[in-house]
Amino acid sequence: MSALSEPPTMAFLCRADLQLSAGKLAVQCAHAAIGSLKQAKKTHSRMVQRWQETASRKICLAVDDEEDLMYFLGLVEEASLPHSLIQDAGLTEVAPGTRTVLGVGPAPRHTMDHLFSELKTYD
């Protein structure tokens, strides 16, 4: 399959060490999705269009802790991909300002696979 025929992907890097409940995690990812999409619309509008025309593929990946999350934030910034780092207001479950999820993309699937090849899906 050529790179172009692969659907663009949005990825959520979720901190596994926080042990968030399913609902809390889902809401954090929803925040990240909207945040990253807003940015991508400004800088990568054609990618957004292609993402929406295909399946709007999304995937949840697990990172170990905050340090790991910041490491991948560095990679993502270096690659100039649209992204959104979510800091929680801390009303429930975690302390205020806790960095919970990094949303990345939409970006080409092969770019994501390359950047995040060592990460496992969050389950």
Partner 1 sequence: MGLRSFIHRLTAPKPLTNVSLAENLKMIFIVNHELKMGKGKIAAQVAHAAVKATLACGERNPALLDAWFKTGQKKICVKGDSAKHLGELSNEAKEKGILANKIHDAGHTQIPAGSFTVLALGPCRDEDIEEITGDLKLL
Residues in contact with partner 1 by CB under 8 A are 10, 12, 14, 20-34, 37, 55-56, 58-62, 89, 121-123
Nearer to partner 1 by Cβ, of 22 and 95: the residue is 22
Rounded distance, CA 117 to CA 77, Å?
A: 17
Nearer to partner 1 by Cβ, of 80 and 92: the residue is 92
- Shortest approach of partner 1 to residue 32 CB, angstroms? 7
Tell whether the torsion through CA atoms of 66, 67, 73 and 76 is positive or negative. Answer: negative
Rounded distance, CA 46 to CA 23, Å?
A: 32
Residues near 79 by beta carbon (within 8 Å), at least 6 away in sequence: 111, 115
- Shortest approach of partner 1 to residue 99 CB, angstroms? 16
- Shortest approach of partner 1 to residue 75 CB, angstroms? 20
Residue tagged 């970006």 (tokens): 107
- Shortest approach of partner 1 to residue 74 CB, angstroms? 23
Q: Are 14 and 29 in contact (CB under 8 A)?
A: yes
Give the phi and the psi of residue 84 in degrees, each rounded to 5.
-150, 120
Nearer to partner 1 by Cβ, of 74 and 102: the residue is 102
Nearer to partner 1 by Cβ, of 25 and 115: the residue is 25
